[in-house]
Amino acid sequence: MNKTDFKNVYVFAEQREGVIQPVALELIGKANDLAKELGEKVVAVLAGYKMDALAQTLIEYGADEVIKIDHPNLEHYLTEQYAQAIDQVIKHFRPSIVLFGATTIGRDLAPRLSARMSTGLTADCTKLEISENKELMMTRPAFGGNLMATIMCTEHRPQMSTVRPGVMQKLTPDSSRKGVITPFEVQFDESKFKVKLVEIVKEDKGKIDISEAKILVSGGRGVGCKENFENLRQLAAQLGAEVSASRAVVDSGIMPHDRQVGQTGKTVRPNLYLALGISGAIQHLAGMEESDFIVAINKDKFAPIFQVADVGIVGDVNKIVPLLTQRLEGMMKK
Amino acid sequence: MEIVVCIKQVPDTTEIKINPVTGTLIRDGVPSIMNPDDKGGLEMALRMKDEYGAHVTVITMGPPQADLVLREALAMGADDAILLTDRKFAGADTLATSNALAGALRTLKWDLIITGRQAIDGDTAQVGPQIAEHLGIPQISYVANLARKSENEFLVKKETEEGYQMLEVSAPCLLTVLASANKARYMSVPGIVDAYNKEVQLWSAAMIDVDETKLGLKGSPTKVLKAFAKGMKQAGQVYEVEPEEAVGLIISKLQEKFII
């Protein structure tokens, strides 16, 4: 293998029923950083059926080129159909890097491809960088998030990874951005299509899993009565967040147990954790200290929650929260 | 029906603690368990056995002490157990691991191969689909339910972010199963006694059908450059300000972090 034959950063532009998945746009954003350091292009691979407008969207979000595969076989995601399509794209264009979202689709497709091409794949990355030798450095959590590992794939191409949704940043879309759309024809071997889709069922999963939430508005004893929790719900609605609670609040019956954060509740690691009126018992901290960004509001300036908070505010949650909601509301309107 | 279930012995990651002084993992005294998703897969196989009379073989790759999870599987009701153990398997990434397991599977008979969706120590979810590709059989991942339609046709429920899909597949096929798919049975007392009367077959690299260059560290395209503890979190800044100012502060921090 001659590494110089492999060029450009490819992103699998995952779409479902004609909707580009947010992680695909996040990956295009990250691919721009990587491509810049390598002096290469960002190429999005869009596979599906009748997705005319989507290629332009990918360009607006930073793709220099979109390889578009439009075929009825690709209307819904099925492993073998998509594996054949992406495999042929990779063999034809020889990218140096291919990124997938770590979704139920990306985590099904990417390993199948890595085995087909005998190349490495790193799962669920949270950080991607380029080394001095122009190799991809992929960092990911392991051991239940207790350990981070940086992984490389120096002797094989392409270098592939799945990337956790919600970690990388999208670019601001720019409709003046120019890009090339390249249609690509796949030669399908339909004799290998062994799995038949019978039905797709969408569920309003009803039960909210707070450990899946990107933003948590979490209330503790300091919030006080049940009525005050309404303030938290309104703030959560503004942020697209879920409401969670400390043990004290759950024990008093204000919130159900499935909303409890901490040792006896759930371990959460959202992008933003708002700890409101939570003092921060060690059992609570154990359940939330891995959150990416923690804002705490508490009356007691010695509350242990401030030791893990990125931003701490000494004050009354019941005064600050309604104000914050109001201000966010104003911002959204603009 | 022949079913092979691939299982893994893993450290119970919920029991791992970090030494607050050195920031390193404390692995001593952390119990080893059967990976939860694999247990869900084994239970799914055993239910097929209960209902239709399948023959269930469990296989694992690991050091000699991985014998323990195989005994547990036998005590739950598996019929045969194989331990792939050889220095040549050591240092394998997911691709090399899948090569070894596929090599062993090539020498066995199966209608269904079942693996867990992912292991709690690595969380990659890669080995199952990679095995399926090596063997040239279809895969269905994130399996929440398996129902038999006829002798060799199955209806499979696959979980997705939005809900689920119902998929139809014929044997041979590989499924990667969720721990939440079922509630795994306990080992029975006669099962435990039985498990220690049965033989766990020890297989070396020479006994499986795979090119040795595809195994272990040599056969691993990915290499770990470094591993490090995430480190203890540093406290941020604490402000004692009026509510109005506090709100402005929070909003600007959230904007800085691209959260809003």
Digits of tens for pLDDT over chain B (260 positions)? 999 999 999 988 767 766 656 666 677 788 999 999 999 999 999 999 999 999 999 999 999 999 999 999 999 999 999 999 999 999 999 999 999 999 999 999 999 999 999 998 888 999 999 999 999 999 999 999 999 999 899 999 999 988 899 999 999 999 999 998 998 999 999 999 989 999 999 999 999 999 999 999 999 999 999 888 765 566 788 999 999 999 999 999 988 887 77
Q: Is A187 flagged in the annotation as binding? A: no
Would you state the pLDDT for residue B97? 98
Residue with tokens 């600050």: A320
Report which of B47, B250, B15, B37 is spatially closest to residue B148, judged by C-alpha positions.
B47
Beta-carbon contacts of A17 under 8 Å, excluding residues fewer than 6 positions away, are: none
Residues of A in contact with B155 (CB under 8 A): 198
Q: How far is CA A62 from CA A6, A129, A170, B141, in A?
A: 21, 18, 9, 31
- Closest Cβ opposite residue A143 in set B13, B137, B159: B13
Residues of A in contact with B160 (CB under 8 A): 104
By the 8 A CB rule, do A112 and B133 touch?
Answer: yes
Tell me: pLDDT of A182 over 90. Answer: yes
- Closest Cβ opposite residue A123 in set B125, B140, B243: B125
> Is A118 at the interface with chain B, CB within 8 A?
yes
Q: What ipTM goes with this model?
A: 0.89
> Is A141 at the interface with chain B, CB within 8 A?
yes
Beta-carbon contacts of A68 under 8 Å, excluding residues fewer than 6 positions away, are: A46, A51, A55, A181, A182, A183, A184
pTM above 0.80, yes or no: yes
CB pairs under 8 A between A and B: 236
Would you state the pLDDT for residue A141? 82
Interface probe for A, chosen from B133, B232, B237 (most Cβ of A below 10 Å), is B133
Would you state the pLDDT for residue B36? 93
CA distance, residue B246 to nearest chain A CA (Å)? 7
Contact: A272, B228; criterion CB under 8 Å: no
CA distance, residue A193 to nearest chain B CA (Å)? 8
- Closest Cβ opposite residue B223 in set A147, A151, A215: A151
> Is A136 at the interface with chain B, CB within 8 A?
no
Q: Is A277 flagged in the annotation as binding? A: yes
Contact: B240, A315; criterion CB under 8 Å: yes
The band of A287, judged by pLDDT with boundaries at 50, 70 and 90, is: confident
Q: How far is CA B86 from CA A28, A94, B78, B104, in A?
A: 42, 36, 23, 13
- Closest Cβ opposite residue B250 in set A116, A124, A295: A295
Exposure string for A251-290, b = 16+ CB within 10 A, e = fewer:
eeebbeeebbbbeebbbbbbbbbbbbbbbbbeebbebbbb
Would you state the pLDDT for residue B68? 96
Q: Which CATH architecture has domain A3-192?
A: 3-Layer(aba) Sandwich (3.40)
Residues of B in contact with A323 (CB under 8 A): 243-244, 247
Would you state the pLDDT for residue B12? 85
Residues of A in contact with B164 (CB under 8 A): 201, 203
Q: How many CB atoms lie within 10 A of CB A155?
A: 13
- Closest Cβ opposite residue A324 in set B121, B128, B247: B247
Would you state the pLDDT for residue A46? 98
CA distance, residue B190 to nearest chain A CA (Å)? 34
Delimit the domains of chain A by residue range.
Answer: 3-192, 210-333
Q: Is A291 flagged in the annotation as binding? A: no
What is the strand order of the sheet B237-239 is part of?
Answer: A242-245, A215-219, A272-276, A293-298, A311-314, B237-239
Q: Nearest 5 degrees, angle CA B165-CA B170-CA B173?
A: 80
SS (H, E, C) chain B: CEEEEECCEEECHHHCEECCCCCCEECCCCCEEECHHHHHHHHHHHHHHHHHCCEEEEEEECCHHHHHHHHHHHHHCCCEEEEECCHHHCCCCHHHHHHHHHHHHCCCCCCEEEEECCCCCCCCCCHHHHHHHHHCCCEEEEEEEEEEEECCEEEEEEECCCEEEEEEEECCEEEEECHHHCCCCCCCHHHHHHHHHCCEEEECHHHCCCCHHHCCCCCCCCEEEEEEECCCCCCCEEECCCHHHHHHHHHHHHHHCCCC
Mean pLDDT on A26-40: 97
Beta bridge partners of B2: B55
Q: Is A94 flagged in the annotation as binding? A: no
Residues of A in contact with B235 (CB under 8 A): 306-309, 312
Query: Which has more confidence, A166 or A269?
Result: A269
Distance between CA atoms of A85 and A279, rounded to whole angstroms? 53
Mean pLDDT for all residues in chain A: 92
The band of A283, judged by pLDDT with boundaries at 50, 70 and 90, is: confident
Would you state the pLDDT for residue A265? 73
Q: Is A261 flagged in the annotation as binding? A: yes
Would you state the pLDDT for residue B19? 65
B2-214 classified as CATH 3.40.50.620: yes
- Closest Cβ opposite residue B126 in set A111, A146, A327: A111
- Closest Cβ opposite residue B165 in set A153, A197, A314: A197
Beta bridge partners of B55: B2
Distance between CA atoms of A51 and A60, rounded to whole angstroms? 16
Q: How far is CA B220 from the centre of its chain?
A: 18
SS (H, E, C) chain A: CCHHHCCCEEEECCEECCEECHHHHHHHHHHHHHHHHHCCCEEEEEEECCCCCHHHHHHHCCCCEEEEEECHHHCCCCHHHHHHHHHHHHHHHCCCEEEEECCCCHHHHHHHHHHHHCCCEEEEECEEEECCCCCEEEEEEEHHHCEEEEEECCCCCCEEEEECCCCCCCCCCCCCCCCEEEECCCCCCHHHCCCEEEEEEECCCCCCCHHHCCEEEEECHHHCCHHHHHHHHHHHHHHCCEEEECHHHHHCCCCCHHHEECCCCECCCCCEEEEECCCCCHHHHHHHCCCCEEEEEECCCCCHHHHCCCEEEECCHHHHHHHHHHHHHHHHHC
Report which of B4, B127, B162 is spatially closest to residue B73, judged by C-alpha positions.
B4
Q: Which CATH architecture has domain A210-333?
A: 3-Layer(aba) Sandwich (3.40)
CA distance, residue B131 to nearest chain A CA (Å)? 8
Would you state the pLDDT for residue A143? 76
Nearest chain B Cα to A145, which residue?
Answer: B230
Query: Which has more confidence, A148 or B153?
Result: B153
Q: Is A263 flagged in the annotation as binding? A: yes
Would you state the pLDDT for residue A334? 58
> Is A309 at the interface with chain B, CB within 8 A?
yes
Contact: B260, A328; criterion CB under 8 Å: yes
Delimit the domains of chain B by residue range.
Answer: 2-214
Contact: B98, A120; criterion CB under 8 Å: no
- Convert the pLDDT of each residue in A103-113 to its tens digit: 999 999 999 99
Residues of A in contact with B126 (CB under 8 A): 107, 110-111, 114, 121, 123
- The phi-psi region of residue B237 (left if phi > 0; otherwise alpha if psi is between -120 and 50; otherwise beta) is beta
The band of A282, judged by pLDDT with boundaries at 50, 70 and 90, is: confident
Contact: A123, B124; criterion CB under 8 Å: yes
Residues of B in contact with A295 (CB under 8 A): 250, 253-254
Question: Above pLDDT 90, what percent of chain A?
Answer: 75
Would you state the pLDDT for residue A63? 98
